[in-house]
Amino acid sequence: MQQVVMNGAWAQDVYRRQDILTAGSVELIVMLYDGLKKNVVLGRRAIEKRDLQGAHRCLMKAQDIVSELMTSLDMSYEISEELLSLYGFALRNLAEANVKKDAAPLVPVLEMVDELRDAWKEIS
């Protein structure tokens, strides 16, 4: 049975990698937002369950995704300055939630991620 689970996980990983390799730039951004939301939600749940290691792991992944979004900005567009500011806000809140193990700073991050993801999804 464990072999079946391992093969299923492997197949899912291969599928995810193929999806990423064939996605366009807008689809990749939407995927990043999906991953960001997933890790913030999991981090919040881990904080609520007092799973400090799990919270740290998820919130660090979330911070890595925000950092990737920041570095992928094309600063020749006006909106990039606004996005950079929003991403900075998200990074600060994620770090605060992680250090204090407090879920409250994650609420505005989730709201922001939902709005930005929906906007990018419409573009795609």
Class of domain 25-123: mainly alpha
Q: Return the H-helix or E-strand segment holding 115.
A: helix 106-123
Consecutive 10-residue averages of pLDDT for the chain (124 residues): 55 52 76 97 98 98 97 93 97 98 98 96 86
Token pair belonging to 48:
């609520």
pLDDT of residue 25: 85
Q: Any idea where the domains of the chain sit in the sequence?
A: 25-123
pLDDT at 20: 44
- Residue 116 and residue 87 in contact, taking contact as beta carbons nearer than 8 Å: no
Predicted TM-score (pTM) of this structure: 0.81
Q: Are 32 and 44 in contact (CB under 8 A)?
A: no
Per-residue pLDDT, 13: 54
The whole-angstrom separation of Cα 61 and Cα 41 is: 12
